[in-house]
Chain A
Amino acid sequence: MRPEAIRDKVAIIGMGCTKFGENWDKSADDMIIEASFEALEDGGVELKDIEAGWVGTVTTGGTGSLLSGPLKLPYLPVTRVENGCGTAMEALRNASFAVACGLYDLVLVVGVEKLKDTGLGGLPEFMFHPVYGQGFTAPGRWALGATRYFQNYEIKPEEGKRLLAKIAVKNHHNGTLSPKAHFQREITLEQALAAPIVAWPLGLLDCCPVTDGAAAAVICPIDIAKRFRDDYVLVKGFGVAMGPGLGKEDIDYVYDRLPETQAAAKQAYEMAGIEEPRKEISLASLHDCFTIAELMEYEAVGFSPLGGAKQDIEAGTFTLEGELPVNTDGGLKSFGHPIGATGLRMCYEAYKQFQGKADRRQLKDPKISFCMAQYGHPGFLGPVVTILGRRD
């Protein structure tokens, strides 16, 4: 790997994001148009100047025409990508490669998911085999990690649920400061603990909602970024680690850690030149599809030592006022999780924070952001990491 091939080569010059939520009155097309034009206007770019597009979705469409259709793009190269919950970052990553190699000047990247047209209260169960692994829903699979993590670190289930509840309370609080978040509601520790069980030990308030939304970015080579704005944001590095998915069957794996996430973070740190993540990173978006995921990710990406998440949660390390704020916009828990849009939503938060436009949740002087979205569950993960930096 040659980190210099991508580090500081690509700039994000415009971003957009719809209101996330149960957007009953909006189609996927509506949300694509809304997010795309917000990004274009934000970057001072005209649609006619876009040369190529990447669009990410998991369930909402099949091909690049998902983007070219609503935007009426005139015979442009548009690629649809899908890589589970990291889909939108995967779109950004591939678009960045095209820009970094010098092929295009202006590329539109969009992530979208329309989930609330299905009639399902939760996500559909993604089935891989007719009879093997049946009934393994997302909360059920992450709860496998919670059970074993608690067991390994001798945390009683009640105590463990309390740690998880703190994450839920934090992310709900951050959501109240994010006008575009799905939820705008504080919750108490007691409410989180008393919530009905979804997949023991996870309760309803440990789970992210099912959400509609879209997010978009316009990117260009670093050398022309200044034409559009001074406070553009730099792409520092990416990491992707598709696990073979064997952890669930591997007796050496004990469901208490996330080796794929660790590997993806390591790649991204190397590409971005980060040696001490906890010190160098100003803010992070972690994939809190379930509170236990955020907890285990603190350790996997090197923010906390193995087994050290508990201490950091109790110390408030990851709150807005803490040493390393995580999910400052409310995260999946509160901002919502339209699967194919989530990765770019995370980048949107970093982008706004760097530009000082993060309203009441604005951090002081943020410089480096770590974003990670991943599909799967302990033992079977596909994480995608994006590290962005402020232009200094």
Chain B
Amino acid sequence: MVGITSYGAYIPVYRLSREILNQVWGGGGKGEKAVANFDEDSLTMGVEGARDCLKGTEKESIDALYFASTTPPFKEKQSASIIAAALDLREDIIAADITDSLRCGTIALRMALDAVKAGSARKVLVVVSDCRIPPPNSAFEPLFGDGAAAFLVGGNGAAVEIEGSHYITSEFIDIWRLEYDKITRTWEDRFIRDEGYTPYLQKAVATLLKAHNLTAKDFATAAFNALDERTHRDMARRLGLDAKTQVQDPLFGKVGHTGAASTPMILIAALEEAKPGDRILLASYGDGADAHILRVTDDIEKIRDKRGIKKNLDSKLMLDNYGKYVKFRNLMEFEPSLEIAPRTSLPEIWRDRNWVYKFHGHRCKKCGKIQFPMQKACMYCQADEKDLEEIGLSDKKGTLSTFSMDERSPVIDPPNVLAAVTLEGGGRFFSQMTDRDVNNLKVGIPMELTFRRIHDALGVHNYFWKCRPARE
């Protein structure tokens, strides 16, 4: 039966305590929210979620990649194609950005299931990610968080089967961004709650359960999103779920509302706890609503090696002030830099695409040594380029050979930590370090690689890899 064969999630390492927002703007928010680092966006977080999902699985049979986000970093230019390159997927796949709706994740999931059912794809990778910018000093600011989720959909070995779904599409306008808006806009919350969220989600669930002759009691848990904590509690009650045993935590307290990624991430948290045979109610709201009956199979036990939600939650760094958050999301007009602006060259990046995006290195067939980046001749034995074979190195772990912390470098979050990372099996990555605690660095610590936005030189997002201290 067609279903979800693997899942993965990503929560950025930085968290902002709502206490800090209370100090700046007043209010009594509790808990914390996940904040993408300055070099992250929905695309890079999507890559992270997808890498978690694909860990230990073969990638050859992935025939399509759908990237679902309301915040794709390009308005024109596909993000899915860049994600596919960073994941080193085959070239002959179909890739699509499915965007604009907070429900684009569950819509993409359905499209993936349909493609596999129809036989037009063996496996489809669905990547859902959002990095929405809330207006400062708004109800959204403490609420919004950043994160990503990914699902591999296939016909064999499904860990989660979808027994039924119901979709409702509505023109209802509640939360939006115009083509020139940076921050999310909204209408009066009572209107959205009473005429949007509550009736649509309830209707989707009720219609689905009725068609399948099920009641709330038939579910081990329910994973659904909401406008906020309060509407989530209210919906659980309306659906007749037991708040203590049947409702999956919507992650608002520790991560925040992650937009399109919200429902998928809540689902992954549910799957981490799920036992074979469990039935899960999944429901999502935005431009209407959808509801799904999920059945967990025995194969769930084969995909327990994920960072998922739990491990990502456990590995964190606290943002120590609001100023850093403002800089990360570029929420103020800052002093123009006298530094020479970075430049880029699209032909240069294109020539180097196999190591810039895919992080391929070379293995010398003559001396056997691995090297990064790809070389024109072996750096160890000078063997000709034809004796060098390309190998993917992005999954390699490494150790920190040396590092420095540059306080004067024109980066958004100084110090700029420079690093030389020796990769397991060979190759050394001369790299910028990200997601680091500057008080806890020393030669020899374990490192891993992460795909990041390096800069926006010449008005284009320029992506490449960085290193970071291993997150688990």
**Chain A residues within 8 Å of B, Cβ to Cβ:** 118-122, 124-125, 127, 129-137, 139-148, 151, 196-202, 244, 246, 248-252, 254-255, 379
Contact = CB atoms under 8 A, between A and B. Distances in A.
Contact of B348 (A122, A129, A136, A201): A129
A250 B418 contact: no
Given A130-B345, A249-B372, A199 B402 contact: no
Interface stretch (B4-12, B83-91, B203-211, B456-464): B456-464
B64 interface: no
B409 A140 contact: yes
A27 to B, nearest CB: 20
B443 A148 contact: yes
24 contacts: A119-B338, A125-B410, A129-B348, A130-B342, A130-B343, A130-B345, A132-B430, A135-B406, A136-B430, A137-B409, A140-B405, A144-B403, A147-B402, A148-B401, A198-B407, A199-B404, A199-B406, A199-B408, A200-B407, A201-B404, A249-B427, A251-B401, A254-B401, A255-B401
B426 to A, nearest CB: 6
Given A131-B454, A132-B356, A250 B380 contact: yes
A241 B35 CA distance: 47
Contacts of B331: none
Contacts of A246: 379
Given A131-B454, A132-B352, A142-B404, 8 more contacts: A118-B338, A122-B408, A130-B454, A145-B402, A197-B415, A248-B420, A248-B430, A249-B371
Interface of B: 338-340, 342-345, 348-349, 352, 356, 371-373, 379-380, 401-411, 415-416, 418, 420, 422, 426-430, 432, 438, 443, 454-455, 457, 462-464
Given A134-B432, A134-B454, A135-B411, A143 B406 contact: yes
Contacts, number: 141
Given A127-B342, A132-B464, A137 B379 contact: no
B404 A141 contact: yes
B408 A137 contact: yes
A121 B408 contact: yes
A151 B443 contact: yes
A251 B464 contact: no
A interface: dominant SS:
loop
A310 B343 CA distance: 41
A144 B432 CA distance: 12
Nearest to A151: B443
Given A144-B418, A148-B402, A139 B344 contact: no
A200 B344 contact: no
A227 B434 CA distance: 63
A200 B404 contact: yes
A183 to B, nearest CB: 19
The 6 closest A-B pairs by CB, nearest first: A143-B404, A140-B406, A131-B464, A148-B402, A200-B405, A130-B344
B428 A131 contact: no
B404 A146 contact: yes
Nearest to A119: B338
Nearest to A141: B418
B454 to A, nearest CB: 5
Contacts of B371: 249
Nearest to B462: A131
Given A148-B402, A251-B427, A135 B345 contact: no
Contacts of A146: 404
A251 B408 contact: no
Contacts of B345: 130
Contacts of A250: 379-380, 428
A125 B402 contact: no
A147 B404 CA distance: 7
